[in-house]
Structure 1
């Protein structure tokens, strides 16, 4: 019978100290997982909130248009050139957004000037040129409000 008591003791449940150890280790691992998940969430939401929006200027401001040199339509066969420097007055955007659209603005200048002749630009022709370019640029840059087009240099050769 003594042997039976010894074998019965071997089949008995493990002592409480091992159960406590397993529970404590599980709790520590659970807390570590929650802490790591919280830290990961905090780091990634911080990056998303750090995204800086460009500040839209509500006051009108001027943007320089690079000098445009274009040949005019000439029926005589002699090349005629025009050199124009201008500024564009815009509102409700940032300078970087307008600068990003500068190739389109220069294309509008080039295509319109290439179709014009020297006679078209004489007299009130500069005013008509300004109005035509202003209308085309306003359509191209919409929804940006284009207020004015100011010529700073205008040379026909």
Structure 2
């Protein structure tokens, strides 16, 4: 009888512990499924809104205008007697059409500022993406100085050829 009493006391403890694991596991699965469902519901509604053209990121129109400059051909500063040339086609990104009209009469000053700077460049100054980035930033600085108080937002390279 003592053995039966001992077995009877162990069984309810093990049953309670196993019920706890089953309930906890079930609750964890429900939470994971609910989270996954919420994730897919939110992500599909965001893509539906952007596909309809109602998403915030896709409906912001670009209010900038592009002002094309004539192609420029420049002799670069020579290194040890070797002649190098650069052909460059640039566009300027401006905020509105009025800014384009302000730049037009000052175009000779812009081209002069570009020519003076680029004639002092060496072929090695234009190597790699870092060299092109420095050129872009310097041209942006010079164009904004030449057309002040007007302002250009960005210098866009359409063509760069260095020989």
Comparing 84-93 with 126-135, greater Cα deviation is found at 84-93
* TM superposition shift of 1:105: 1.1
* 1:66 counterpart residue number: 70
**Distance in 2 between the 1:74 and 1:145 partners?**
33
1:3-152 correspondence to structure 2 within 5 Å: 59-91=63-95, 93-123=98-128, 124-152=130-158
State which of 145, 156, 162 in structure 2 corresponds to 1:156: 162
Divergent runs of 4+, >2 A = 91-97
* TM superposition shift of 1:97: 2.5
Q: Contact conserved, 2:99 with 2:151, CA < 8 A, in 1?
A: no
Say which one has the larger Rg.
1
Q: Deviations over 1:47-82 (max 9, x none)?
A: xxxxxxxxxxxx421100110100000122121100
Q: Contact conserved, 2:67 with 2:92, CA < 8 A, in 1?
A: yes
* 2:11 counterpart residue number: none
Q: Please tell me the root mean square deviation across aligned C-alpha atoms, in Å.
A: 1.3
In structure 1, list runs of 5 or more residues that go unmatched.
1-58
Count, aligned residues? 99
In structure 2, list runs of 5 or more residues that go unmatched.
1-62
**Distance in 1 between the 2:106 and 2:71 partners?**
15
* TM superposition shift of 1:91: 2.4
Q: Contact conserved, 2:75 with 2:84, CA < 8 A, in 1?
A: yes
Q: Contact conserved, 1:68 with 1:109, CA < 8 A, in 2?
A: no
Q: TM-score of the superposition, structure 1-length normalised?
A: 0.59
Structure having the higher strand fraction is 1
**Distance in 2 between the 1:125 and 1:94 partners?**
29
